[in-house]
């Protein structure tokens, strides 16, 4: 489904779905936490794609955000993650980002029904972390 959504979006924008876009999306999907662009660049070393400059990664990430296949959150520095019912905690004081557990399918369905959306969403909780309390 996500790849179909990406394909349609890229077609509308008249962009190609190249190996780099697919690799970046795969890196983000395989991570259990939100990643900075530099972390994505480092993880791409394990993929059989050309080694992109950081500005190429930022442009590709923006395309993926615009196509609504990943999300971005800025907590001091932008981090990227998929919308597979992920949950994140952000400290209002120090901007610390903590990855939470994936939401159970039943909870995702209830939230999706409540907000009249699909189950491809993320949940972000803002509060004080243990260190800042």
Q: pLDDT tens digits for 8-25?
A: 999 999 998 889 999 999
Say what the pLDDT of residue 12 is.
93
Assigned CATH for 86-127: 3.30.1490
pLDDT of residue 57: 96
Domain range annotation of the chain: 2-69, 86-127
Q: Could you tell me the CA-to-CA distances from 109 to 78, 103, 106 in Å, in that order?
A: 28, 10, 5
Query: What distance in Å separates the CA atoms of residue 91 and residue 98, rounded to the nearest whole number?
Result: 8
3-state SS record for 28-78: HHHCCCCECHHHHHHHHHHCCCCCCCHHHHHHHHHHHHHCCCEEEEECCCE
Instruction: Output the pTM of the full model.
Output: 0.75
The ranges of the chain with pLDDT < 50 are 1
Q: Are strands 86-91 and 70-74 parallel, antiparallel or unpaired?
A: unpaired
> What separation in angstroms does the CA of 55 have from each of 62, 66, 133?
11, 16, 37
What is the reported pLDDT for 111? 83
Same fold, 2-69 and 86-127: no
Predicted pLDDT at 83: 65
CA distances from 14 to 24, 28, 31, 83 (A): 19, 23, 29, 24
| Distance between CA atoms of residues 89 and 122, nearest Å | 11
* Adjacent-strand bridge partners of 51: none
What's the confidence (pLDDT) of residue 82? Answer: 79
One CATH from 3.30.160.20, 3.30.420.40, 3.40.50.12280, 1.10.10.10 for 2-69: 1.10.10.10
Query: What pLDDT shows up at residue 40?
Result: 96
Which uninterrupted H or E stretch holds 81?
Answer: strand 78-82
Instruction: Check residue 24 and give its pLDDT.
Output: 95
Contact 56, 16 (CB under 8 A): no
């Amino acid at each position: 489904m996500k790849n179909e959504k990406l394909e349609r979006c890229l077609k509308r924008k008249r962009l190609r779905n190249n190996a780099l876009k697919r690799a970046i999306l795969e890196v983000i999907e395989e991570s259990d936490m939100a990643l900075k662009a530099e972390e994505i660049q480092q993880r791409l070393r394990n993929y059989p794609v050309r080694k992109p400059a950081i500005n190429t990664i930022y442009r590709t990430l923006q395309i993926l955000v615009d196509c609504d296949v990943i999300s971005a959150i800025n907590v001091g520095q932008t981090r990227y993650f998929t919308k597979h019912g992920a949950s994140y905690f952000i400290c209002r004081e120090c901007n610390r980002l903590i990855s939470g557990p994936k939401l159970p399918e039943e909870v995702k369905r209830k939230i999706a029904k409540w907000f009249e959306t699909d189950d491809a969403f993320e949940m972000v909780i803002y509060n004080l972390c243990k260190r800042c309390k």
